[in-house]
Protein backbone atom coordinates (compact mmCIF):
# COMPACT_ATOMS: atom_id res chain seq x y z
CA UNK A 1 0.00 0.00 0.00
CA UNK A 2 2.75 2.41 1.00
CA UNK A 3 4.80 1.52 -2.06
CA UNK A 4 1.79 2.17 -4.27
CA UNK A 5 1.23 5.46 -2.56
CA UNK A 6 4.83 6.50 -3.02
CA UNK A 7 4.61 5.65 -6.73
CA UNK A 8 1.34 7.46 -7.13
CA UNK A 9 2.55 10.59 -5.43
CA UNK A 10 5.80 10.55 -7.36
CA UNK A 11 3.81 10.37 -10.59
CA UNK A 12 1.94 13.48 -9.59
CA UNK A 13 4.77 15.83 -10.39
CA UNK A 14 3.43 19.34 -10.70
CA UNK A 15 4.32 20.97 -13.98
CA UNK A 16 2.64 24.30 -13.32
CA UNK A 17 1.98 26.51 -10.29
CA UNK A 18 -0.55 24.95 -7.96
CA UNK A 19 -2.12 28.04 -6.51
CA UNK A 20 -5.89 28.27 -6.59
CA UNK A 21 -7.32 31.52 -7.81
CA UNK A 22 -7.85 34.11 -5.14
CA UNK A 23 -11.34 33.80 -3.67
CA UNK A 24 -13.55 35.89 -5.90
CA UNK A 25 -14.86 38.03 -3.08
CA UNK A 26 -11.28 39.22 -2.51
CA UNK A 27 -10.46 39.56 -6.16
CA UNK A 28 -8.32 42.60 -6.78
CA UNK A 29 -5.00 43.44 -8.34
CA UNK A 30 -2.89 42.46 -5.31
CA UNK A 31 -1.00 39.20 -5.24
CA UNK A 32 -1.88 37.14 -2.18
CA UNK A 33 0.95 35.98 0.04
CA UNK A 34 1.64 32.28 -0.42
CA UNK A 35 0.18 30.15 2.34
CA UNK A 36 2.46 27.59 3.95
CA UNK A 37 0.96 24.12 3.80
CA UNK A 38 1.15 23.87 7.60
CA UNK A 39 -1.22 26.83 7.96
CA UNK A 40 -4.00 25.01 6.08
CA UNK A 41 -6.03 23.21 8.73
CA UNK A 42 -6.52 19.54 8.09
CA UNK A 43 -10.05 18.67 6.94
CA UNK A 44 -9.76 15.54 9.09
CA UNK A 45 -9.26 17.70 12.17
CA UNK A 46 -12.30 19.78 11.24
CA UNK A 47 -14.62 16.88 10.75
CA UNK A 48 -13.13 13.47 11.52
CA UNK A 49 -16.62 12.23 12.37
CA UNK A 50 -17.90 12.77 8.83
CA UNK A 51 -17.81 9.18 7.59
CA UNK A 52 -19.89 8.22 4.54
CA UNK A 53 -22.25 5.32 5.10
CA UNK A 54 -21.74 2.62 2.46
CA UNK A 55 -25.13 1.01 3.16
CA UNK A 56 -26.86 4.31 2.48
CA UNK A 57 -24.88 4.81 -0.72
CA UNK A 58 -25.89 1.31 -1.87
CA UNK A 59 -29.52 1.96 -1.01
CA UNK A 60 -29.50 5.15 -3.09
CA UNK A 61 -27.88 3.35 -6.04
CA UNK A 62 -30.59 0.67 -5.84
CA UNK A 63 -33.42 3.18 -5.53
CA UNK A 64 -32.30 5.12 -8.61
CA UNK A 65 -31.71 1.90 -10.59
CA UNK A 66 -35.39 1.06 -9.99
CA UNK A 67 -36.29 4.11 -12.06
CA UNK A 68 -35.75 2.56 -15.46
CA UNK A 69 -37.60 1.71 -18.65
CA UNK A 70 -37.98 -2.06 -19.05
CA UNK A 71 -34.60 -3.40 -20.27
CA UNK A 72 -31.62 -5.38 -19.13
CA UNK A 73 -29.72 -3.13 -16.72
CA UNK A 74 -30.88 0.48 -16.63
CA UNK A 75 -32.46 2.58 -19.39
CA UNK A 76 -33.09 6.18 -18.45
CA UNK A 77 -32.59 8.27 -21.54
CA UNK A 78 -32.18 12.03 -21.61
CA UNK A 79 -35.35 14.13 -21.27
CA UNK A 80 -37.70 11.20 -20.84
CA UNK A 81 -40.31 10.90 -18.11
CA UNK A 82 -38.16 8.16 -16.63
CA UNK A 83 -35.16 10.45 -16.35
CA UNK A 84 -37.37 13.15 -14.81
CA UNK A 85 -38.61 10.64 -12.19
CA UNK A 86 -34.99 10.05 -11.15
CA UNK A 87 -34.54 13.83 -10.82
CA UNK A 88 -37.70 14.02 -8.68
CA UNK A 89 -36.38 11.26 -6.43
CA UNK A 90 -33.05 12.99 -5.85
CA UNK A 91 -34.71 16.40 -5.42
CA UNK A 92 -36.90 14.82 -2.73
CA UNK A 93 -33.84 13.55 -0.84
CA UNK A 94 -32.32 17.02 -0.84
CA UNK A 95 -35.60 18.62 0.26
CA UNK A 96 -35.83 16.12 3.11
CA UNK A 97 -32.42 17.39 4.26
CA UNK A 98 -33.82 20.94 4.29
CA UNK A 99 -31.91 22.15 1.22
CA UNK A 100 -33.35 24.61 -1.25
CA UNK A 101 -33.86 22.76 -4.54
CA UNK A 102 -34.58 24.06 -8.02
CA UNK A 103 -34.75 22.69 -11.53
CA UNK A 104 -33.01 24.90 -14.05
CA UNK A 105 -34.29 25.76 -17.51
CA UNK A 106 -32.92 22.61 -19.17
CA UNK A 107 -33.82 20.21 -16.35
CA UNK A 108 -30.65 20.03 -14.25
CA UNK A 109 -31.55 19.62 -10.57
CA UNK A 110 -29.64 21.86 -8.18
CA UNK A 111 -29.73 21.83 -4.36
CA UNK A 112 -28.02 24.41 -2.20
CA UNK A 113 -26.60 24.36 1.27
CA UNK A 114 -25.99 28.03 1.97
CA UNK A 115 -22.70 29.27 3.39
CA UNK A 116 -21.49 32.69 4.46
CA UNK A 117 -20.51 33.52 0.92
CA UNK A 118 -22.85 33.24 -2.01
CA UNK A 119 -20.16 31.97 -4.40
CA UNK A 120 -20.48 28.22 -4.36
CA UNK A 121 -18.48 25.09 -4.36
CA UNK A 122 -20.24 22.61 -6.60
CA UNK A 123 -20.38 18.88 -6.95
CA UNK A 124 -22.43 16.46 -8.97
CA UNK A 125 -22.78 14.27 -12.02
CA UNK A 126 -25.64 12.99 -14.20
CA UNK A 127 -28.79 10.89 -13.83
CA UNK A 128 -29.45 9.75 -17.40
CA UNK A 129 -28.11 6.46 -18.77
CA UNK A 130 -27.36 4.76 -22.07
CA UNK A 131 -29.86 2.09 -23.25
CA UNK A 132 -29.38 -1.10 -21.19
CA UNK A 133 -26.60 0.59 -19.22
CA UNK A 134 -25.31 0.28 -15.71
CA UNK A 135 -26.43 1.70 -12.38
CA UNK A 136 -23.26 3.60 -11.44
CA UNK A 137 -22.31 5.78 -14.43
CA UNK A 138 -23.22 9.30 -13.34
CA UNK A 139 -25.27 8.07 -10.42
CA UNK A 140 -22.18 7.48 -8.25
CA UNK A 141 -21.41 11.20 -8.33
CA UNK A 142 -25.01 12.21 -7.65
CA UNK A 143 -25.51 9.96 -4.64
CA UNK A 144 -22.06 10.87 -3.29
CA UNK A 145 -23.36 14.46 -3.31
CA UNK A 146 -26.50 13.48 -1.41
CA UNK A 147 -24.37 11.67 1.18
CA UNK A 148 -22.04 14.67 1.53
CA UNK A 149 -25.08 16.92 2.06
CA UNK A 150 -26.49 14.53 4.65
CA UNK A 151 -23.20 14.40 6.57
CA UNK A 152 -22.88 18.19 6.56
CA UNK A 153 -26.51 18.78 7.56
CA UNK A 154 -26.76 16.09 10.22
CA UNK A 155 -23.48 17.13 11.83
CA UNK A 156 -24.28 20.82 11.68
CA UNK A 157 -21.21 21.55 9.56
CA UNK A 158 -21.36 24.68 7.43
CA UNK A 159 -18.77 25.67 4.90
CA UNK A 160 -17.85 29.28 4.31
CA UNK A 161 -18.91 28.95 0.69
CA UNK A 162 -22.34 27.74 -0.29
CA UNK A 163 -22.32 24.19 -1.60
CA UNK A 164 -24.44 23.37 -4.65
CA UNK A 165 -25.23 19.77 -5.48
CA UNK A 166 -26.02 19.22 -9.13
CA UNK A 167 -27.73 16.32 -10.93
CA UNK A 168 -27.19 17.01 -14.61
CA UNK A 169 -29.59 15.97 -17.32
CA UNK A 170 -28.63 14.47 -20.70
CA UNK A 171 -24.98 13.68 -20.19
CA UNK A 172 -25.05 10.55 -22.29
CA UNK A 173 -24.99 11.23 -25.99
CA UNK A 174 -27.00 8.04 -26.38
CA UNK A 175 -30.31 9.62 -27.32
CA UNK A 176 -29.33 12.73 -29.30
CA UNK A 177 -25.77 11.83 -30.32
CA UNK A 178 -24.14 14.71 -28.50
CA UNK A 179 -22.93 14.23 -24.92
CA UNK A 180 -23.15 16.54 -21.90
CA UNK A 181 -26.05 18.70 -23.11
CA UNK A 182 -27.13 19.65 -19.56
CA UNK A 183 -23.63 20.72 -18.58
CA UNK A 184 -23.00 22.37 -21.95
CA UNK A 185 -26.08 24.49 -21.26
CA UNK A 186 -24.74 25.71 -17.91
CA UNK A 187 -21.34 26.38 -19.50
CA UNK A 188 -22.92 28.43 -22.29
CA UNK A 189 -21.73 25.89 -24.88
CA UNK A 190 -25.13 24.85 -26.24
CA UNK A 191 -26.69 26.94 -29.00
CA UNK A 192 -30.47 27.14 -29.14
CA UNK A 193 -30.45 25.98 -32.77
CA UNK A 194 -28.99 22.64 -31.63
CA UNK A 195 -32.11 22.04 -29.55
CA UNK A 196 -34.05 21.90 -32.80
CA UNK A 197 -31.49 20.22 -35.04
CA UNK A 198 -30.38 17.35 -32.79
CA UNK A 199 -32.87 14.49 -33.15
CA UNK A 200 -33.24 11.05 -31.64
CA UNK A 201 -33.79 7.82 -33.59
CA UNK A 202 -37.55 8.58 -33.75
CA UNK A 203 -36.95 12.03 -35.22
CA UNK A 204 -37.84 13.86 -31.97
CA UNK A 205 -35.73 16.98 -31.46
CA UNK A 206 -34.18 17.93 -28.12
CA UNK A 207 -36.58 20.88 -27.98
CA UNK A 208 -39.63 18.63 -28.48
CA UNK A 209 -38.33 16.14 -25.91
CA UNK A 210 -37.87 19.00 -23.44
CA UNK A 211 -41.41 20.26 -24.08
CA UNK A 212 -42.82 16.78 -23.52
CA UNK A 213 -41.38 16.77 -19.99
CA UNK A 214 -42.57 20.30 -19.23
CA UNK A 215 -39.39 22.25 -20.02
CA UNK A 216 -39.27 25.34 -22.22
CA UNK A 217 -36.41 25.22 -24.75
CA UNK A 218 -36.77 28.97 -25.27
CA UNK A 219 -35.40 29.50 -21.75
CA UNK A 220 -32.07 27.79 -22.52
CA UNK A 221 -30.00 30.91 -21.76
CA UNK A 222 -31.37 31.04 -18.21
CA UNK A 223 -29.53 27.81 -17.37
CA UNK A 224 -26.15 29.47 -17.92
CA UNK A 225 -23.87 29.79 -14.90
CA UNK A 226 -22.01 33.03 -14.17
CA UNK A 227 -18.37 32.41 -13.21
CA UNK A 228 -18.67 34.85 -10.28
CA UNK A 229 -21.26 32.56 -8.64
CA UNK A 230 -18.87 29.60 -8.35
CA UNK A 231 -15.42 28.87 -6.95
CA UNK A 232 -14.77 25.22 -7.85
CA UNK A 233 -16.58 22.08 -8.95
CA UNK A 234 -15.74 18.45 -8.08
CA UNK A 235 -17.23 15.48 -9.92
CA UNK A 236 -16.98 11.95 -8.61
CA UNK A 237 -17.45 9.28 -11.29
CA UNK A 238 -16.77 5.58 -11.79
CA UNK A 239 -13.62 5.03 -13.83
CA UNK A 240 -15.36 2.99 -16.58
CA UNK A 241 -12.00 1.38 -17.31
CA UNK A 242 -9.78 -1.13 -15.54
CA UNK A 243 -6.69 0.87 -14.53
CA UNK A 244 -7.55 1.38 -10.85
CA UNK A 245 -8.72 -2.16 -10.31
CA UNK A 246 -5.62 -3.64 -11.97
CA UNK A 247 -3.38 -1.43 -9.86
CA UNK A 248 -5.36 -2.09 -6.67
CA UNK A 249 -5.92 1.63 -6.14
CA UNK A 250 -9.10 3.16 -4.65
CA UNK A 251 -8.87 6.63 -6.23
CA UNK A 252 -8.00 8.13 -9.58
CA UNK A 253 -7.38 11.83 -10.12
CA UNK A 254 -8.03 12.84 -13.71
CA UNK A 255 -5.65 15.22 -15.44
CA UNK A 256 -7.05 15.14 -18.97
CA UNK A 257 -10.54 14.34 -20.30
CA UNK A 258 -10.80 13.09 -23.89
CA UNK A 259 -12.70 15.03 -26.50
CA UNK A 260 -15.04 13.44 -29.00
CA UNK A 261 -16.07 14.17 -32.59
CA UNK A 262 -19.16 12.36 -33.88
CA UNK A 263 -20.63 12.13 -37.34
CA UNK A 264 -23.51 10.22 -38.93
CA UNK A 265 -22.68 8.54 -42.24
CA UNK A 266 -25.18 7.46 -44.87
CA UNK A 267 -24.12 5.12 -47.67
CA UNK A 268 -26.53 4.72 -50.59
CA UNK A 269 -26.18 1.80 -53.00
CA UNK A 270 -28.78 -0.10 -55.00
CA UNK A 271 -31.20 -2.56 -53.40
CA UNK A 272 -31.99 -5.46 -55.64
CA UNK A 273 -32.27 -9.24 -55.80
CA UNK A 274 -29.52 -11.26 -54.01
CA UNK A 275 -29.93 -14.20 -56.36
CA UNK A 276 -30.19 -12.65 -59.78
CA UNK A 277 -27.62 -9.83 -59.43
CA UNK A 278 -24.07 -10.88 -60.33
CA UNK A 279 -21.37 -9.83 -57.84
CA UNK A 280 -19.76 -7.50 -60.38
CA UNK A 281 -22.99 -5.53 -60.91
CA UNK A 282 -23.79 -4.70 -57.31
CA UNK A 283 -23.74 -1.41 -55.42
CA UNK A 284 -23.91 -2.93 -51.95
CA UNK A 285 -24.25 -0.30 -49.23
CA UNK A 286 -23.35 -2.76 -46.46
CA UNK A 287 -20.09 -4.10 -47.90
CA UNK A 288 -19.00 -0.49 -48.46
CA UNK A 289 -19.91 0.35 -44.85
CA UNK A 290 -18.07 -2.77 -43.65
CA UNK A 291 -14.91 -1.66 -45.44
CA UNK A 292 -15.25 1.82 -43.91
CA UNK A 293 -15.67 0.35 -40.41
CA UNK A 294 -12.50 -1.73 -40.77
CA UNK A 295 -10.62 1.19 -42.30
CA UNK A 296 -11.58 3.41 -39.31
CA UNK A 297 -10.37 0.73 -36.91
CA UNK A 298 -7.08 0.38 -38.80
CA UNK A 299 -6.49 4.15 -38.73
CA UNK A 300 -7.05 4.28 -34.96
CA UNK A 301 -4.72 1.29 -34.52
CA UNK A 302 -1.99 2.93 -36.57
CA UNK A 303 0.97 3.77 -34.25
CA UNK A 304 0.86 7.46 -35.22
CA UNK A 305 -2.68 7.54 -33.81
CA UNK A 306 -1.56 6.31 -30.41
CA UNK A 307 -4.44 6.92 -28.04
CA UNK A 308 -7.11 7.59 -30.66
CA UNK A 309 -10.31 5.58 -30.33
CA UNK A 310 -12.65 5.24 -33.33
CA UNK A 311 -15.94 3.39 -32.89
CA UNK A 312 -19.03 2.64 -34.92
CA UNK A 313 -21.69 1.98 -32.29
CA UNK A 314 -24.84 2.14 -34.43
CA UNK A 315 -25.31 0.54 -37.86
CA UNK A 316 -28.60 0.22 -39.69
CA UNK A 317 -29.13 -1.76 -42.87
CA UNK A 318 -32.03 -1.23 -45.25
CA UNK A 319 -34.23 -2.74 -46.46
CA UNK A 320 -33.11 -5.50 -44.06
CA UNK A 321 -34.21 -8.55 -46.02
CA UNK A 322 -32.26 -11.79 -46.41
CA UNK A 323 -32.94 -11.81 -50.13
CA UNK A 324 -32.28 -8.13 -50.95
CA UNK A 325 -28.86 -6.51 -51.38
CA UNK A 326 -28.57 -3.67 -48.85
CA UNK A 327 -29.50 -0.42 -50.59
CA UNK A 328 -28.79 1.93 -47.71
CA UNK A 329 -26.75 1.87 -44.53
CA UNK A 330 -26.49 4.51 -41.89
CA UNK A 331 -23.93 4.44 -39.12
CA UNK A 332 -22.34 6.66 -36.52
CA UNK A 333 -18.65 7.32 -36.04
CA UNK A 334 -17.33 8.44 -32.65
CA UNK A 335 -13.66 9.48 -32.53
CA UNK A 336 -12.14 10.22 -29.12
CA UNK A 337 -8.72 11.52 -28.27
CA UNK A 338 -6.83 13.50 -25.68
CA UNK A 339 -5.14 15.42 -28.52
CA UNK A 340 -7.57 17.79 -30.19
CA UNK A 341 -5.70 18.09 -33.52
CA UNK A 342 -5.37 14.33 -33.80
CA UNK A 343 -9.08 13.92 -32.90
CA UNK A 344 -10.32 16.20 -35.69
CA UNK A 345 -7.57 15.07 -38.10
CA UNK A 346 -8.59 11.44 -37.65
CA UNK A 347 -12.19 12.21 -38.57
CA UNK A 348 -11.07 14.12 -41.66
CA UNK A 349 -8.85 11.21 -42.70
CA UNK A 350 -11.56 8.59 -42.14
CA UNK A 351 -14.08 10.62 -44.14
CA UNK A 352 -11.62 11.16 -47.01
CA UNK A 353 -10.78 7.45 -47.21
CA UNK A 354 -14.45 6.50 -46.86
CA UNK A 355 -15.21 8.64 -49.90
CA UNK A 356 -12.53 6.75 -51.87
CA UNK A 357 -14.05 3.42 -50.80
CA UNK A 358 -17.53 4.57 -51.84
CA UNK A 359 -16.30 5.85 -55.22
CA UNK A 360 -14.55 2.56 -55.92
CA UNK A 361 -17.66 0.62 -54.93
CA UNK A 362 -19.98 2.92 -56.91
CA UNK A 363 -22.09 3.91 -53.92
CA UNK A 364 -22.86 7.42 -52.68
CA UNK A 365 -21.99 8.77 -49.25
CA UNK A 366 -23.07 11.74 -47.14
CA UNK A 367 -21.65 12.74 -43.78
CA UNK A 368 -23.50 14.82 -41.19
CA UNK A 369 -21.75 16.25 -38.10
CA UNK A 370 -23.47 15.35 -34.82
CA UNK A 371 -21.25 16.70 -32.09
CA UNK A 372 -17.78 17.89 -31.25
CA UNK A 373 -16.15 18.42 -27.86
CA UNK A 374 -12.53 19.27 -27.24
CA UNK A 375 -10.27 17.43 -24.83
CA UNK A 376 -9.84 19.34 -21.57
CA UNK A 377 -6.91 19.65 -19.17
CA UNK A 378 -8.24 20.00 -15.64
CA UNK A 379 -6.61 22.62 -13.37
CA UNK A 380 -3.58 21.36 -11.50
CA UNK A 381 -4.29 23.20 -8.25
CA UNK A 382 -7.56 21.29 -7.85
CA UNK A 383 -5.88 18.00 -8.76
CA UNK A 384 -3.22 18.73 -6.16
CA UNK A 385 -5.90 19.51 -3.57
CA UNK A 386 -7.47 16.09 -4.15
CA UNK A 387 -4.00 14.51 -4.03
CA UNK A 388 -3.41 16.25 -0.68
CA UNK A 389 -6.69 14.89 0.67
CA UNK A 390 -5.69 11.37 -0.42
CA UNK A 391 -2.19 11.68 1.02
CA UNK A 392 -3.57 12.89 4.33
CA UNK A 393 -6.04 10.02 4.51
CA UNK A 394 -3.29 7.55 3.50
CA UNK A 395 -5.21 6.66 0.37
CA UNK A 396 -3.09 5.65 -2.61
CA UNK A 397 -4.19 7.12 -5.91
CA UNK A 398 -3.14 7.39 -9.51
CA UNK A 399 -3.30 10.30 -11.90
CA UNK A 400 -4.94 9.14 -15.12
CA UNK A 401 -6.73 10.40 -18.20
CA UNK A 402 -10.42 9.89 -18.89
CA UNK A 403 -11.44 8.26 -22.15
CA UNK A 404 -15.10 9.09 -21.55
CA UNK A 405 -16.73 12.52 -21.61
CA UNK A 406 -17.87 14.06 -18.35
CA UNK A 407 -19.97 16.99 -17.19
CA UNK A 408 -16.99 18.53 -15.36
CA UNK A 409 -15.28 18.86 -18.76
CA UNK A 410 -17.93 21.41 -19.77
CA UNK A 411 -18.33 22.97 -16.32
CA UNK A 412 -14.58 23.68 -16.31
CA UNK A 413 -15.30 26.37 -18.93
CA UNK A 414 -17.04 28.43 -16.23
CA UNK A 415 -15.59 27.19 -12.95
CA UNK A 416 -12.38 25.25 -12.25
CA UNK A 417 -13.30 21.58 -12.07
CA UNK A 418 -11.79 18.31 -10.88
CA UNK A 419 -12.69 14.69 -11.58
CA UNK A 420 -12.27 11.91 -9.02
CA UNK A 421 -12.51 8.29 -10.18
CA UNK A 422 -13.44 5.23 -8.16
CA UNK A 423 -12.76 1.71 -9.52
CA UNK A 424 -15.05 -0.08 -11.96
CA UNK A 425 -15.06 -3.85 -11.57
CA UNK A 426 -13.63 -5.53 -14.67
CA UNK A 427 -13.37 -2.05 -16.20
CA UNK A 428 -16.93 -2.51 -17.54
CA UNK A 429 -19.30 0.38 -18.23
CA UNK A 430 -22.35 1.24 -20.37
CA UNK A 431 -23.51 -2.35 -19.75
CA UNK A 432 -25.73 -3.89 -17.06
CA UNK A 433 -22.66 -5.58 -15.50
CA UNK A 434 -21.14 -2.20 -14.58
CA UNK A 435 -20.23 -2.42 -10.87
CA UNK A 436 -18.44 -0.46 -8.15
CA UNK A 437 -18.44 -1.76 -4.58
CA UNK A 438 -20.19 0.20 -1.86
CA UNK A 439 -16.87 0.34 0.01
CA UNK A 440 -15.19 2.00 -2.98
CA UNK A 441 -18.09 4.43 -3.30
CA UNK A 442 -17.71 5.33 0.36
CA UNK A 443 -13.98 5.99 -0.05
CA UNK A 444 -14.65 8.18 -3.08
CA UNK A 445 -17.38 10.06 -1.20
CA UNK A 446 -14.97 10.69 1.65
CA UNK A 447 -12.40 12.13 -0.76
CA UNK A 448 -15.11 14.27 -2.35
CA UNK A 449 -16.29 15.60 1.02
CA UNK A 450 -12.82 16.36 2.27
CA UNK A 451 -11.91 17.86 -1.09
CA UNK A 452 -14.79 20.32 -0.70
CA UNK A 453 -13.82 21.12 2.90
CA UNK A 454 -10.20 21.61 1.95
CA UNK A 455 -10.93 23.91 -0.99
CA UNK A 456 -13.29 25.93 1.20
CA UNK A 457 -10.56 26.46 3.78
CA UNK A 458 -7.78 27.13 1.27
CA UNK A 459 -9.81 29.80 -0.47
CA UNK A 460 -10.62 31.44 2.86
CA UNK A 461 -6.92 31.37 3.81
CA UNK A 462 -6.08 33.01 0.52
CA UNK A 463 -8.75 35.60 1.02
CA UNK A 464 -7.45 36.41 4.50
CA UNK A 465 -3.88 36.56 3.17
CA UNK A 466 -5.00 38.93 0.42
CA UNK A 467 -6.71 41.11 3.02
CA UNK A 468 -3.54 41.13 5.19
CA UNK A 469 -1.41 42.09 2.18
CA UNK A 470 -3.88 44.89 1.48
CA UNK A 471 -3.71 46.17 5.07
CA UNK A 472 0.11 46.09 5.02
CA UNK A 473 0.33 48.01 1.79
CA UNK A 474 -2.25 50.54 3.12
CA UNK A 475 -0.04 51.05 6.19
CA UNK A 476 3.00 51.69 4.02
CA UNK A 477 1.22 54.55 2.24
Query: Which parts of this chain interact with Mn ion (CB under 5 A)?
Result: 137-138, 172
CB of 170 or CB of 286, closer to ligand GLV: 170
Beta carbon of residue 139, minimum distance to Mn ion (angstroms, whole number): 9
Build a one-symbol-per-residue string for 284-303: x at contacts with ligand GLV by CB under 6 A, - elsewhere. --------------------
- Given ligand GLV, Mn ion, none, residue 235, with its beta carbon under 5 to 8 Å by kind, binds none
Short-list 274, 228, 235, 277, CA closest to 252: 235
**By CB under 6 A, is residue 172 in contact with ligand GLV?**
yes
Distance CA 276, CA 247 (A): 58
The CB-of-297 to Mn ion minimum distance in angstroms stands at 22
Please report how close the Cβ of residue 141 comes to Mn ion at its closest, in angstroms: 8
Nearer to ligand GLV, 404 or 452 (CB): 404
Please tell me whether residue 28 adopts helix, strand or coil conformation. coil
Closer of 128 and 349 to Mn ion (Cβ): 128
Pick out residues in 354-413 that bind ligand GLV (CB under 6 A). 404-405
Instruction: Please answer whether residues 165 and 99 qualify as being in contact, where contact means their C-beta atoms are separated by less than 8 angstroms.
Output: yes
Distance CA(128)–CA(430), nearest Å, equals: 11
Nearer to Mn ion, 76 or 361 (CB): 76
465 contacts 40 by C-beta, under 8 angstroms: no
Q: Is the peptide bond before 370 cis (omega within 30 degrees of 0)?
A: no
CA distances from 94 to 89, 106, 279, 399 (A): 9, 19, 64, 32
Q: How far is the CB of 160 from ligand GLV (least distance, A)?
A: 33
The SS3 assignment for 351 reads helix
Nearer to ligand GLV by Cβ, of 179 and 232: the residue is 179
Q: Which does 179 bind (CB under 5 to 8 A by kind): ligand GLV, Mn ion, none?
A: ligand GLV
Q: Is 179 in the site for ligand GLV (CB under 6 A)?
A: yes
User: DSSP for 46-74?
Assistant: HHTT----HHHHHHHHHHHHTS--SSSSB
Q: Which is nearer to Mn ion, 254 or 380 (CB)?
A: 254
Cα–Cα distances in angstroms (integers) from residue 2 to residues 11, 156, 249, 266, 422, in the given order: 14, 34, 11, 54, 19
* Minimum CB–partner distance for residue 179 and ligand GLV (Å): 5
Stretch that binds ligand GLV, among 40-48, 172-180, 184-192, 465-473 (CB under 6 A): 172-180
User: For the packed helices 340-360 and 285-301, what is the interaxial angle rounded to 10 degrees?
Assistant: 150
CB-nearer residue toward Mn ion: 20 or 371: 371
User: What distance lies between CA 229 and its chain's CA centroid?
Assistant: 21
Q: Least Å distance between CB 404 and ligand GLV?
A: 3
Please tell me the distance from the alpha carbon of residue 189 to that of residue 199, in angstroms, as a whole number.
18
Q: Could you tell me the smallest distance in angstroms from the CB atom of residue 74 to Mn ion?
A: 11
**Residues near ligand GLV, by CB under 6 A:** 172-173, 179, 404-405
Amino acid sequence: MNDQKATAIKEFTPTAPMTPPTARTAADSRTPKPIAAAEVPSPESVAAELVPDSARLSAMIDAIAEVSDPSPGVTRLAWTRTERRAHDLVAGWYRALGLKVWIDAVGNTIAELPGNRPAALGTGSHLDSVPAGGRFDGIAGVIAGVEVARLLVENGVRLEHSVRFVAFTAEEGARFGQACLGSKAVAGMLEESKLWSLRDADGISVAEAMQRVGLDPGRLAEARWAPRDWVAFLELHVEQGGVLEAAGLPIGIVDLVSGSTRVAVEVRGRATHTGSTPMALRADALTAAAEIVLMAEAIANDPRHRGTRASIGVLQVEPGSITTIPGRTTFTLDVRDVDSDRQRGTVTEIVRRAKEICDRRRVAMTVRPIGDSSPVVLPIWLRQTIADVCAEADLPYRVLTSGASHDCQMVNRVVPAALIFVPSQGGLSHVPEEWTSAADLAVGTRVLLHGLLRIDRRLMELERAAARTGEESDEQH
